[in-house]
Amino acid sequence: MKTYWVLVGSFGSGKSELALNLALEKAKEGPCTLVDLDVINPYFRTSERGDVLEPAGVELIMPPFALDKIEIMSLSAKVFSAFSPGEGNVIFDIGGDDVGSIALGQYKARFDQIPPDRLNVLFIVNPMRPTAADFDSAMDTLAKIQYVSRLNVTGIVNNANLSVETDVSHLAEGYALMKQLSEATGIPVWGTCGKEDVLHSFKLYVKEHGLDPTYVGRYQPIEVMMHRSWDKFLKEGL
């Protein structure tokens, strides 16, 4: 039986990066399908990384428009094949905000047939984004996403980051928000994401400051794949 991962969240919260990393990780265990259901963003899409996914054995289902760079927001009928019986993992990368999550609504009948222990709906949060900066806006987005996607979020994810300038203080800020959100909603914290080095520093920080592991969840290393090679020039004044 397949295990399903649906990644939702605010626009720019880091769903695509997590989707790519999760797909490559799961592909090592067995069959893995990544469904690009982003109907919002024509730039920086998971579909662009077919070059990495396919050699790793990830089956990529993408909308017919994705690589043509045109704006016909239609979804491929092939998406239904992800719900067919089988083994392995299926990861859905969804567009940002409630607008993006609308794409999920039409698959409700299929999602309803998946046993609860096989369906993970993860709400990704990056408090460094201006539109998701605080508890109220995160709660608001969460409610709207659940409403339009017709799915219940099963885990929240701390993906606090400032791109190349991320440090442990950002993850600590994310932790505080995770705790607040989890306490208010009863939804468990699934995990904390970050590049290896930042994640390592955060592990030490958690011990040192006696943070509650319940609100840290699993440590999910992220290898950044959507960036361009010249991003590193930020520090030189560009």
Partner 1 sequence: MAKKLMKGCEAIAEAAIQAGCRYFFGYPITPQNDIPEYMSRRLPQVGGCFLQAESELAAINMVYGAGGAGARAMTSSSSPGISLKQEGISTCAAAEVPCVIVNMMRGGPGLGNIQASQGDYFQACKGGGHGDYRCVVYAPSSIQETCDLMPKAFDTADTYRTPVIILADGLIGQMMEPVELKMNDNPTMPEKPWACQGWDPKGDRPRAVINSLYIETEILDDLMTRLNARYDMIREKEVMVEKYKTEGAQFVLCAYGTVARVCKAAVRILDEKGIKCGLVRPITLWPFPTKDVHDVIAQDSVKGALTVEISNGQMVEDIRLAVNGEKPVDFMGKGGSIIPTAEEIADRVMEIMRRA
| Stretch touching partner 1 by CB under 8 A, among 176-184, 195-203, 205-213, 228-236 | 228-236
Task: Answer for the pair 118, 83: CB distance below 8 angstroms, yes or no.
Answer: no
Terminal-residue alpha carbon distance, the chain: 49
Q: Is 62 in the site for partner 1 (CB under 8 A)?
A: no
Q: Is 84 in the site for partner 1 (CB under 8 A)?
A: no
Find all residues with CB under 8 Å of 120, minimum gap 6, and list them: 3, 4, 5, 6, 154, 155, 190
Two structure tokens written together for 198: 């930042």
How far apart are the C-alpha atoms of 113 and 121, rounded to whole Å?
15
Contact positions with partner 1 (CB under 8 A) in 105-164: 126, 128-131, 133, 161-164
The interface mask with partner 1, positions 174-213, x = CB under 8 A, is ----------------------------------------
Closer residue to partner 1 in complex, CB, 99/114? 99
Collapse the DSSP code of 41 into the 3-class scheme (helix H, G, I; strand E, B; otherwise coil) and give the result.
Answer: coil
Closer residue to partner 1 in complex, CB, 106/163? 163
Question: Which residues in this chain contact partner 1 in the complex, by CB under 8 A?
Answer: 11-12, 41-44, 69-71, 126, 128-131, 133, 161-165, 228-234, 236-238
